Protein backbone atom coordinates (compact mmCIF):
# COMPACT_ATOMS: atom_id res chain seq x y z
CA UNK A 1 0.00 0.00 0.00
CA UNK A 2 1.20 3.53 -0.65
CA UNK A 3 1.87 5.76 2.35
CA UNK A 4 -0.19 8.86 3.11
CA UNK A 5 1.82 11.04 0.73
CA UNK A 6 1.54 8.38 -1.99
CA UNK A 7 -2.21 8.16 -1.48
CA UNK A 8 -2.52 11.96 -1.64
CA UNK A 9 -0.54 11.89 -4.89
CA UNK A 10 -2.95 9.35 -6.42
CA UNK A 11 -6.05 11.32 -5.35
CA UNK A 12 -4.54 14.56 -6.67
CA UNK A 13 -3.62 12.91 -9.96
CA UNK A 14 -7.21 11.65 -10.28
CA UNK A 15 -8.53 15.19 -9.73
CA UNK A 16 -5.99 16.50 -12.24
CA UNK A 17 -7.12 14.03 -14.92
CA UNK A 18 -10.79 14.70 -14.21
CA UNK A 19 -10.33 18.49 -14.26
CA UNK A 20 -8.11 18.79 -17.33
CA UNK A 21 -9.90 16.17 -19.44
CA UNK A 22 -13.43 17.37 -18.64
CA UNK A 23 -12.59 21.07 -19.07
CA UNK A 24 -10.73 20.48 -22.35
CA UNK A 25 -13.38 18.05 -23.59
CA UNK A 26 -16.23 20.43 -22.76
CA UNK A 27 -14.72 23.31 -24.76
CA UNK A 28 -13.85 20.98 -27.65
CA UNK A 29 -17.39 19.54 -27.72
CA UNK A 30 -18.87 23.04 -27.43
CA UNK A 31 -16.94 24.16 -30.49
CA UNK A 32 -17.57 21.01 -32.50
CA UNK A 33 -21.28 20.61 -31.78
CA UNK A 34 -22.16 24.29 -31.21
CA UNK A 35 -23.40 23.63 -27.67
CA UNK A 36 -24.93 26.29 -25.41
CA UNK A 37 -24.57 26.94 -21.70
CA UNK A 38 -21.38 24.98 -21.14
CA UNK A 39 -19.35 27.86 -19.68
CA UNK A 40 -20.01 27.09 -16.02
CA UNK A 41 -19.19 23.41 -16.56
CA UNK A 42 -15.90 24.13 -18.34
CA UNK A 43 -14.91 26.79 -15.79
CA UNK A 44 -15.64 24.55 -12.79
CA UNK A 45 -13.54 21.66 -14.13
CA UNK A 46 -10.75 24.02 -15.25
CA UNK A 47 -10.56 25.38 -11.69
CA UNK A 48 -10.46 21.79 -10.39
CA UNK A 49 -7.65 21.10 -12.86
CA UNK A 50 -5.71 24.20 -11.80
CA UNK A 51 -6.05 23.36 -8.11
CA UNK A 52 -4.94 19.78 -8.68
CA UNK A 53 -2.05 20.97 -10.88
CA UNK A 54 -0.65 23.15 -8.12
CA UNK A 55 -1.29 20.57 -5.40
CA UNK A 56 0.33 17.79 -7.46
CA UNK A 57 3.43 19.92 -8.02
CA UNK A 58 3.59 20.77 -4.34
CA UNK A 59 3.21 17.10 -3.35
CA UNK A 60 6.19 16.25 -5.54
CA UNK A 61 8.14 18.65 -3.33
CA UNK A 62 6.99 16.67 -0.29
CA UNK A 63 8.22 13.49 -1.97
CA UNK A 64 11.70 14.98 -2.16
CA UNK A 65 11.95 15.73 1.55
CA UNK A 66 9.76 12.89 2.79
CA UNK A 67 7.56 15.20 4.85
CA UNK A 68 5.02 17.99 4.38
CA UNK A 69 7.65 20.75 4.70
CA UNK A 70 8.69 19.95 1.11
CA UNK A 71 5.33 21.16 -0.20
CA UNK A 72 6.34 24.76 0.35
CA UNK A 73 10.13 24.43 0.36
CA UNK A 74 11.38 26.98 -2.22
CA UNK A 75 14.56 24.99 -2.85
CA UNK A 76 12.67 21.75 -3.60
CA UNK A 77 10.02 23.43 -5.75
CA UNK A 78 12.68 25.47 -7.55
CA UNK A 79 14.57 22.26 -8.25
CA UNK A 80 11.44 20.61 -9.67
CA UNK A 81 10.81 23.67 -11.81
CA UNK A 82 14.07 23.04 -13.71
CA UNK A 83 12.95 19.52 -14.74
CA UNK A 84 10.23 18.42 -17.22
CA UNK A 85 7.84 18.47 -14.25
CA UNK A 86 8.22 22.27 -14.29
CA UNK A 87 7.51 22.38 -18.03
CA UNK A 88 4.33 20.35 -17.51
CA UNK A 89 3.29 22.69 -14.68
CA UNK A 90 3.81 25.73 -16.91
CA UNK A 91 1.85 24.19 -19.82
CA UNK A 92 -1.04 23.27 -17.51
CA UNK A 93 -1.20 26.73 -15.92
CA UNK A 94 -1.02 28.49 -19.31
CA UNK A 95 -3.41 26.01 -20.98
CA UNK A 96 -6.08 26.10 -18.28
CA UNK A 97 -5.61 29.87 -17.92
CA UNK A 98 -6.26 30.31 -21.66
CA UNK A 99 -9.21 27.95 -21.42
CA UNK A 100 -10.82 30.01 -18.66
CA UNK A 101 -10.00 33.37 -20.31
CA UNK A 102 -11.55 32.14 -23.58
CA UNK A 103 -14.84 31.41 -21.80
CA UNK A 104 -15.30 35.16 -21.31
CA UNK A 105 -14.28 36.29 -24.80
CA UNK A 106 -17.31 35.65 -26.98
CA UNK A 107 -17.07 33.81 -30.30
CA UNK A 108 -13.29 33.94 -30.73
CA UNK A 109 -13.07 32.78 -27.14
CA UNK A 110 -14.31 29.31 -28.07
CA UNK A 111 -11.15 28.82 -30.16
CA UNK A 112 -8.93 30.32 -27.42
CA UNK A 113 -10.47 27.90 -24.90
CA UNK A 114 -10.01 24.93 -27.22
CA UNK A 115 -6.37 25.91 -27.81
CA UNK A 116 -5.90 26.16 -24.04
CA UNK A 117 -7.43 22.70 -23.62
CA UNK A 118 -5.05 21.22 -26.19
CA UNK A 119 -2.03 22.88 -24.49
CA UNK A 120 -3.12 21.51 -21.10
CA UNK A 121 -3.54 18.01 -22.58
CA UNK A 122 -0.19 18.27 -24.37
CA UNK A 123 1.45 18.78 -20.94
CA UNK A 124 1.00 15.05 -20.30
CA UNK A 125 3.57 14.37 -23.05
CA UNK A 126 6.28 15.94 -20.89
CA UNK A 127 6.16 13.80 -17.79
CA UNK A 128 5.68 10.15 -17.00
CA UNK A 129 6.29 6.79 -18.61
CA UNK A 130 5.62 7.96 -22.16
CA UNK A 131 7.97 10.96 -22.08
CA UNK A 132 10.81 8.85 -20.69
CA UNK A 133 10.67 6.66 -23.80
CA UNK A 134 11.58 9.64 -25.94
CA UNK A 135 9.88 8.53 -29.14
CA UNK A 136 7.81 10.95 -31.20
CA UNK A 137 5.36 8.26 -32.25
CA UNK A 138 4.48 7.48 -28.62
CA UNK A 139 4.08 11.21 -27.89
CA UNK A 140 1.67 11.57 -30.81
CA UNK A 141 -0.18 8.43 -29.72
CA UNK A 142 -0.64 9.77 -26.17
CA UNK A 143 -1.86 13.17 -27.40
CA UNK A 144 -4.35 11.56 -29.81
CA UNK A 145 -5.48 9.17 -27.06
CA UNK A 146 -6.11 12.02 -24.61
CA UNK A 147 -7.83 14.30 -27.16
CA UNK A 148 -10.29 11.59 -28.19
CA UNK A 149 -10.97 10.64 -24.55
CA UNK A 150 -11.49 14.32 -23.65
CA UNK A 151 -14.01 14.84 -26.45
CA UNK A 152 -15.91 11.77 -25.30
CA UNK A 153 -16.00 12.97 -21.69
CA UNK A 154 -16.81 16.52 -22.77
CA UNK A 155 -19.94 15.64 -24.70
CA UNK A 156 -21.53 13.57 -21.90
CA UNK A 157 -22.83 16.19 -19.47
CA UNK A 158 -24.20 18.63 -22.11
CA UNK A 159 -25.89 15.69 -23.87
CA UNK A 160 -27.40 14.43 -20.61
CA UNK A 161 -28.69 17.92 -19.88
CA UNK A 162 -30.30 18.18 -23.34
CA UNK A 163 -31.88 14.75 -22.89
CA UNK A 164 -33.40 15.79 -19.55
CA UNK A 165 -35.67 18.56 -20.92
CA UNK A 166 -38.45 17.67 -23.41
CA UNK A 167 -37.94 20.98 -25.27
CA UNK A 168 -34.39 20.00 -26.19
CA UNK A 169 -34.95 16.31 -27.02
CA UNK A 170 -34.49 17.05 -30.72
CA UNK A 171 -31.21 18.89 -30.08
CA UNK A 172 -30.04 15.98 -27.90
CA UNK A 173 -30.87 13.56 -30.72
CA UNK A 174 -28.99 15.76 -33.18
CA UNK A 175 -25.87 16.22 -31.01
CA UNK A 176 -25.90 12.52 -30.08
CA UNK A 177 -26.13 11.56 -33.74
CA UNK A 178 -23.29 13.87 -34.78
CA UNK A 179 -21.10 12.65 -31.91
CA UNK A 180 -21.88 9.10 -33.03
CA UNK A 181 -20.56 9.95 -36.50
CA UNK A 182 -17.39 11.53 -35.08
CA UNK A 183 -16.97 8.51 -32.77
CA UNK A 184 -16.79 6.12 -35.73
CA UNK A 185 -13.38 7.72 -36.32
CA UNK A 186 -12.25 8.71 -32.81
CA UNK A 187 -13.14 5.46 -31.01
CA UNK A 188 -11.09 3.22 -33.36
CA UNK A 189 -8.23 5.76 -33.02
CA UNK A 190 -8.59 5.60 -29.23
CA UNK A 191 -8.42 1.79 -29.24
CA UNK A 192 -5.54 1.55 -31.72
CA UNK A 193 -3.31 4.11 -29.97
CA UNK A 194 -4.26 2.71 -26.55
CA UNK A 195 -3.26 -0.78 -27.68
CA UNK A 196 -0.04 0.54 -29.21
CA UNK A 197 0.96 2.40 -26.01
CA UNK A 198 0.05 -0.60 -23.84
CA UNK A 199 2.20 -2.86 -26.03
CA UNK A 200 5.12 -0.41 -25.98
CA UNK A 201 4.96 0.08 -22.20
CA UNK A 202 4.23 -3.46 -21.04
CA UNK A 203 5.83 -5.39 -23.89
CA UNK A 204 4.85 -8.97 -23.18
CA UNK A 205 1.93 -11.15 -22.17
CA UNK A 206 3.87 -12.35 -19.11
CA UNK A 207 4.37 -8.77 -17.93
CA UNK A 208 0.69 -8.02 -18.58
CA UNK A 209 -0.43 -10.88 -16.35
CA UNK A 210 2.40 -10.92 -13.84
CA UNK A 211 2.96 -7.28 -12.88
CA UNK A 212 0.80 -4.81 -11.00
CA UNK A 213 1.11 -2.41 -13.92
CA UNK A 214 -0.12 -5.03 -16.38
CA UNK A 215 -3.00 -6.03 -14.11
CA UNK A 216 -4.10 -2.41 -13.68
CA UNK A 217 -4.00 -2.08 -17.45
CA UNK A 218 -6.26 -5.15 -17.76
CA UNK A 219 -8.75 -3.52 -15.34
CA UNK A 220 -8.62 -0.36 -17.45
CA UNK A 221 -9.26 -2.27 -20.67
CA UNK A 222 -12.21 -4.15 -19.09
CA UNK A 223 -13.70 -0.84 -17.95
CA UNK A 224 -13.24 0.62 -21.45
CA UNK A 225 -14.98 -2.47 -22.80
CA UNK A 226 -17.99 -1.73 -20.57
CA UNK A 227 -17.89 1.88 -21.74
CA UNK A 228 -17.92 0.82 -25.38
CA UNK A 229 -20.94 -1.38 -24.67
CA UNK A 230 -22.83 1.59 -23.20
CA UNK A 231 -21.75 3.83 -26.07
CA UNK A 232 -22.91 1.25 -28.60
CA UNK A 233 -26.33 1.09 -26.90
CA UNK A 234 -26.57 4.88 -27.09
CA UNK A 235 -25.53 5.05 -30.72
CA UNK A 236 -27.50 2.09 -32.03
CA UNK A 237 -30.65 2.21 -29.89
CA UNK A 238 -31.35 5.31 -27.81
CA UNK A 239 -30.18 8.04 -30.20
CA UNK A 240 -32.06 6.59 -33.24
CA UNK A 241 -35.18 6.16 -31.05
CA UNK A 242 -34.86 9.74 -29.81
CA UNK A 243 -34.48 10.97 -33.37
CA UNK A 244 -37.67 9.08 -34.24
CA UNK A 245 -39.44 11.04 -31.48
CA UNK A 246 -39.62 8.41 -28.71
CA UNK A 247 -39.51 10.38 -25.40
CA UNK A 248 -38.72 7.24 -23.36
CA UNK A 249 -35.39 7.04 -25.20
CA UNK A 250 -34.35 10.34 -23.62
CA UNK A 251 -34.54 8.93 -20.12
CA UNK A 252 -32.71 5.75 -21.20
CA UNK A 253 -30.00 7.91 -22.75
CA UNK A 254 -29.76 10.05 -19.64
CA UNK A 255 -29.38 6.99 -17.37
CA UNK A 256 -26.88 5.40 -19.72
CA UNK A 257 -24.77 8.58 -19.61
CA UNK A 258 -24.82 8.55 -15.80
CA UNK A 259 -23.45 5.00 -15.82
CA UNK A 260 -20.87 6.01 -18.45
CA UNK A 261 -19.70 8.77 -16.09
CA UNK A 262 -19.25 6.26 -13.24
CA UNK A 263 -17.20 3.97 -15.46
CA UNK A 264 -15.11 6.94 -16.67
CA UNK A 265 -14.38 7.91 -13.05
CA UNK A 266 -13.20 4.33 -12.46
CA UNK A 267 -11.02 4.51 -15.60
CA UNK A 268 -9.43 7.79 -14.48
CA UNK A 269 -8.89 6.36 -10.98
CA UNK A 270 -7.18 3.26 -12.38
CA UNK A 271 -5.03 5.49 -14.61
CA UNK A 272 -4.01 7.60 -11.61
CA UNK A 273 -2.82 4.44 -9.81
CA UNK A 274 -0.99 3.31 -12.98
CA UNK A 275 0.88 6.55 -13.51
CA UNK A 276 1.55 7.42 -9.87
CA UNK A 277 2.16 4.29 -7.90
CA UNK A 278 3.03 1.44 -10.22
CA UNK A 279 6.33 0.92 -11.98
CA UNK A 280 6.62 -0.23 -15.54
CA UNK A 281 7.61 -3.85 -16.09
CA UNK A 282 11.28 -4.04 -17.03
Partner 1 sequence: MKAILLAGMIGIWATGAMAHSPLDATTPANEATVTEMPTEVLMGFKGDIRLTRVVITHAETHSMDMDLGEQTAFTQEFALPMHDMGAGTYVIEWRGLGVDGHALNGSFSFTVE
Q: How many CB atoms lie within 10 A of CB 30?
A: 23
Q: Which of 63, 143, 164, 168 touches partner 1 (CB under 8 A)?
A: 63
Given a contact cutoff of 8 angstroms between Cβ atoms, the answer to whether 156 and 125 are in contact is: no
170 lies in the binding site for partner 1 (CB under 8 A): no
Angle among Cα 89, 118, 147 to the nearest 5 degrees reads: 115
76 lines the binding site for partner 1 (CB under 8 A): yes
Number of residues counted as binding partner 1 (CB under 8 A): 32
Residue 44 or 219: the one with the smaller Cβ distance to partner 1 is 219
Q: How far is the CB of 83 from partner 1 (least distance, A)?
A: 4
C-beta of 126 vs 161, nearer to partner 1: 126
**Closest distance between partner 1 and the C-beta of residue 263, in Å?**
10
Task: Out of 39, 178, 237, 277, point to the residue binding partner 1 (CB under 8 A).
Answer: 277
Instruction: Write out the chain in H/E/C secondary structure.
Output: CCCHHHHHHHHHHHHHHHHHHHHHHHHHHHHHHCCCCCHHHHHHHHHHHHHHHHHHHHHHHHHHHCCHHHHCCHHHHHHHHCCHHHHHHHHHHHHHHHHHHHCCCHHHHHHHHHHHHHHHHHHHHCCCHHHHHCCHHHHHHHHHHHHHHHHHHHHHHHHHHHCCCHHHHHHHHHHHHHHHHHHHHHHHHHHHHHHHHHHHHHCCHHHHHHCHHHHHHHHHHHHHHHHHHHHHHHHHHHHHHHHCCCHHHHHHHHHHHHHHHHHHHHHHHHHHHHHHCCCCCC
Q: Which is nearer to partner 1, 116 or 269 (CB)?
A: 269
Where in 187-226 is the site for partner 1 (CB under 8 A)?
211-213, 215-216, 219
Q: Closer to partner 1 by CB, 36 or 75: give it.
A: 75
Q: Is 245 one of the binding residues for partner 1 (CB under 8 A)?
A: no
- Min dist CB 23 to partner 1, Å, is 23
Q: With binding defined as CB under 8 A, does residue 132 bind partner 1?
A: yes
Using CB under 8 A, pick the residue from 65, 135, 204, 206 that binds partner 1.
65
Residue 38 or residue 270: which is nearer to partner 1 going by CB? Answer: 270
127 versus 147: smaller Cβ distance to partner 1:
127
Q: What is the CA radius of gyration of the chain?
A: 19
Number of neighbouring beta carbons within 10 Å of residue 90: 14
Asked if 281 is part of the footprint of partner 1 (rule: CB under 8 A), the reply reads no
**Closer residue to partner 1 in complex, CB, 80/147:** 80
- Contacting positions for partner 1 (CB under 8 A): 1-2, 60, 63-66, 70, 76, 79-80, 83-86, 88, 127, 131-132, 211-213, 215-216, 219, 266, 269-270, 273, 277-279
Amino acid sequence: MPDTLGLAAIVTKFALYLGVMTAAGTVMATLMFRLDRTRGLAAAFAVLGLTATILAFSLRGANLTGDLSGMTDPEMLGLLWTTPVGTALLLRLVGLGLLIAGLFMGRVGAWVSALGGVVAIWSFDHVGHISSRDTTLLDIALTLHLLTVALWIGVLTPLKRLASIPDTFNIAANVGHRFGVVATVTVPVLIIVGGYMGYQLVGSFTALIGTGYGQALIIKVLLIGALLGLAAANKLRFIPALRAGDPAAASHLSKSISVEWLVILAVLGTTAVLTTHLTLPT
